[in-house]
Structures are given as C-alpha cells and as structure tokens.
Amino acid sequence: MEIPLSPLEFTRRTRRLYRDREAVVDGDLRLTYEQFFDRCDRWAAALQRLGVKQGDRVAYIAPNTHSQLESFYAVPQIGAIVVPVNYRLTADDFAYIVTHSGARVVCVHSDYLDMVDKVRAQMPTVEQFVALEGEKEGWLNYEAIIANTSPSYVPPTITESDLISINYTSGTTAKPKGVMMTHRNTYLNTVGTLVHHHLGPEDRYLWTLPMFHANGWTFVWTMTAVGGTHVCLRKVDVATIFELMERERISMFCAAPTVLISIANAPAELHKHARPGVRLFTAGAPPAAATIERIEGEFGWEITQVYGLTETSPFITICEPRPEHAALSLAERAKLKARQGVELITSGDLRVVDPEGVEVPHDGETVGEIVVRGNAVMKGYYNDPEATAKAIRGGYFRTGDAAVVHPDGYAEIRDRLKDVIISGGENISSVEVEGVLLRHPAVQEAAVVGMPHERWGESPHAFVVLRPGATATEAEMMQFVRDNMASFKVPKWVTFLHELPKTATGKIQKFVLRGGGSGISRQ
C-alpha cells in the first residue's frame, strides 16, 4: 500500500519515537514532542470547529514563535493550506496577500494586531481573526481556544500533490506571487537536506531564519523529522544569538549572509559564547569568502552554502564538501564554499544553459541561466497561470539567475538575469521601489538596481531624475520610500542624474547603472 509523501509522515514517526524529548524552546516555555503535538492537535480540531475545511487557507503573521511553528502541523493535518506571511511587510501588503490567498482565518502575533486591524475592511475573505498572544477586542484568543478544545480532529485523505503551503514572494513584479508547495515538494526537500547533511535527535536548532521564508527552508519539518529541538528566536539580535548558542547548546542554524556578517563583526566579549562545532546553512545571496573564512577560523563553525528559490522548495544545490577539500587551506576552502554547488539527490535535474537551451561547458567562464526540473519545482503560482507559464517553459523552471559551472561540476552564480535585488535574504522588486519613487511629486524618472553592501549582501540603489525646477534630497527620497513600503526595501543610496542611460528604443540600461554610472551626468 502506497503512503503519500508528506511531512506529516515525519510527525507520525516522531510521535512514536521521541515523545518525551524536548521539542520546542520559546523563552521560558519548554515543550516535549508529546506536549507540542497535543497543542497542534487541539488547534487542528479548533480550526475544524471554526469551519476550516480541506483546501482552505489559514494565514499567519508572526515571528519565530512556538505558535508559528505549530501552524506547519495543525493546518496541514486537516488538509488545509498554511500561508506564512512576511511580517516585515506593510499593512497593505498584509491585506493583499491574505485576500489573494483567500484565507478564511488569519492568525496574528501581538506585535501586528494593530496593523491588521487597520486593514480589516480590505480582507473580505477572512471569517475569523485570531490573536496568537494576548487579548484584544474583536479577536479570538489562541491560547484560550487550545486550552478548552479536545485534541480530537477528523483527519482527511491527503494526496502528495495536495498543497501544504502558499508562500508569497515578490519576485520581479510589484505584486507578490503565491508559490504553491505540495506535500511531496516539502517532503523531498527535507529528505534531500538530511541525505546531504546529517542531523539527529541530539541536534538543537536555533531559529535565526524566519519561519515564513520558504517554510524556514523546510527546517520547520526537518528538525522534527529527526527528533531534534527547535529553539525559537523572535528577533535577530547578535548578543541573544551568542547567549542562546551557549545556554541552549545550539548545534545548527540557518542564516542569510547579513546575519553571518553581524555575527562575524560581533563585539569580542561575545566570542566566548561561540560553541565550537556549530554547523550552519547560508543562502539568499552569495556570502563573501572572507566572511566564511573568518567565522570558520575564529569560531570553529562549519558553513555550508545552499542555493534555491521559494519556487524550488527551496533547495536545489548544496556546496557539498569533498574529501580532497580537507587538504586545502582555510582561504582556499572558503573560496570553494562561496559557490552554490551541486544538485541535491532529491532536487531534480539542474542545468546551466545558453539562450538556445544548450548546456554551457563546465569551464568556470561561460555564463548561462540556471534552470531546473523535478520534485523541487513548485506546482505553480496561485491563481496566476500566466506567471506560471512564463516561469516554467520547456519543462524547466527558469530561475533567471546567471551562473557558470566549474570543471568539478559546481555551479557559481555570477549575476541575475532578473532585476530582483536580494538583500539580507529578502527579495526586493526594483519595479516596486521605482513605483513608489515615481509617486513623489519631485520625481520625473527613477531606476533602482542592486549594489554590493557589506552587511546586506546587496541593497537597492536608486537613480533619480527630478522634474524641471524641482528639488529634493537623498534623505527626503529615503524617507518617502520608508513611509510607503516595508523598511527593508528602502534604498541605501540615492543618486540624482540629469538623465537615465537608455537604449535607442527608450529602455533604461540598468547594467550601466550597476557599473557605477561612469560617464553619466549627475545633478
């Protein structure tokens, strides 16, 4: 008898084998797996009593808390679909994502209750608003419901092609797109991670990576699969990271390069808390070899770079170490570790191809686009067949990332074909930022590109042409963007030009701007 491939299989096994092991640490709260799954069962039953049916969507706006982690079990258990929302967005972004997903229930952490209250009228599909912590008029109390609900829910029949989550990503358009992940997608990503990177019940994982980000790179299920411990971190703070490393005996975490840079540049007095032997995954933007060298050399940690996209579950490559790498110097190994690497066993067929679809030679010089097909690739964009058809062509998902392949088969990203900016692991749409700038009364034209940033990997750089006779300052431009969109999308630099470089047909030449705008007339 076939059993569908689903992360819920990990739940079944862990319930049986690791019920007495510590599952979750969230501040002073500590839960065994038996207690954790009991809470998940109670919330699953409560959702059914609230009218949530198989295929319905339940949205969450929360940092890394035990209740956010519970969503990845309670919601799929009843065949519903979890929609983890980026809590760093604006209230209008919340309204768009919740409404586009058609969520019937939205669960919100106390930090964001007021923001959501302001846009309730823009969420017509929502029938129940749930406060995950604390009490607020007009909101259901999550903890009270769990305490007063029986853990008996009705499990539906789930197939591995059913959706388990819809994860919203900005991509290259102004409006976020909902990436449809199936039970099979997430199951195989988890298995692939464990094939290439052994973890066990002795491991203790620190949640420096947002759980909303591609389902926490599926570590919401990976650690549970092996009976490891989830240690929640509600806000990234370097001192707290080092404190928890020591106190909670952390052995594994994931982080975007921006977090690595903060750790690498932490005050010397914090270094004494750096437990040797900690392993970590980094992704989102290629980390500098110097950062890798410093962290491995000074802290005795082991960094592994992985690569992927929300649309690919997310991992499609891992910079897998080889025995011969051990003989290299730390600096040489760091340079290799800065590459994106090779296919995961479970991720499918990955190629780097030229514009005609022919695989580029493995010479470390010829640039092509990374394309992939197989079990990692999303089911499609939710309610957006046009975007789906554009992204998946000829049986391959087109990543839009330009890369080379070295003679050893390891891929290395050199640039992006798209204008998306990856800053601290977050996707920023240049078109969206430009749209906000163009709303300023003094702005005539605007172009935004990604530029290297020592902390964030890269950050937006805005090039602005003012209207005749108008005046504005860099600080004014930044504040205008900050007032109208999420703060992490605000340009770090603003350069005023007399005109933007364009082709004969009027298309802005962004490659000229990325090159520093040499020869461009500045205002």
End-to-end CA distance of the chain: 71
Q: Please indicate whether the domains covering 1-11+31-184 and 421-514 agree at the CATH topology level.
A: no
CA nearest neighbour of 44 among 58, 31, 62, 30: 58
Q: What is the number of alpha carbons within 13 Å of residue 318 lying toward its C-beta?
A: 22
Question: Helical H runs in 394-502?
Answer: 430-437, 474-484
Q: Give the side-chain half-sphere CA count within 13 A for 462.
A: 33
**Cα 72 to Cα 6, 58, 80, 127, distances in angstroms:** 12, 10, 10, 20
30-50: pLDDT as tens digits: 999 999 999 999 999 999 999
> Could you say which of 3.40.1280.10, 3.30.70.1520, 3.30.1490.270, 3.30.300.30 is the CATH number of the domain covering 421-514?
3.30.300.30
* Strand boundaries in 395-521, DSSP class E: 396-405, 411-416, 421-423, 426-428, 443-453, 457-466, 493-496
- pLDDT tier at 265 (50, 70, 90 boundaries)? confident
In the CATH hierarchy, which fold is given to the domain comprising 1-11+31-184? Rossmann fold (3.40.50)
pLDDT at 511 over 90: no
Please report the pLDDT score of residue 520 as a whole number: 56
Mean pLDDT in residue range 283-288: 67
Q: What is the pLDDT of residue 415?
A: 61
In the chain, where the domains are located: 1-11+31-184, 421-514
The mean pLDDT value for 413-437 works out to: 76
**What local confidence, expressed as pLDDT, does residue 504 receive?**
39
pLDDT for 291-320, tens place per residue? 788 789 889 999 999 999 999 999 999 999
19 C-beta neighbours (distance < 10 Å), count:
16
How much is the pLDDT for 193? 97
Least confident of 68-72, 106-110, 340-344, 456-460: 456-460
Residue 358 pLDDT grade (very low, low, confident, very high; cuts 50, 70, 90) = very high
| Residue that wins the pLDDT comparison between 294 and 373 | 373
Taking only the tens place, the pLDDT of each residue in 141-183 is 999 999 999 999 999 999 999 999 999 986 444 588 999 999 9
Tens digit of pLDDT for each residue in 190-239?
Answer: 999 999 999 999 999 999 999 999 999 999 999 999 999 999 999 999 99
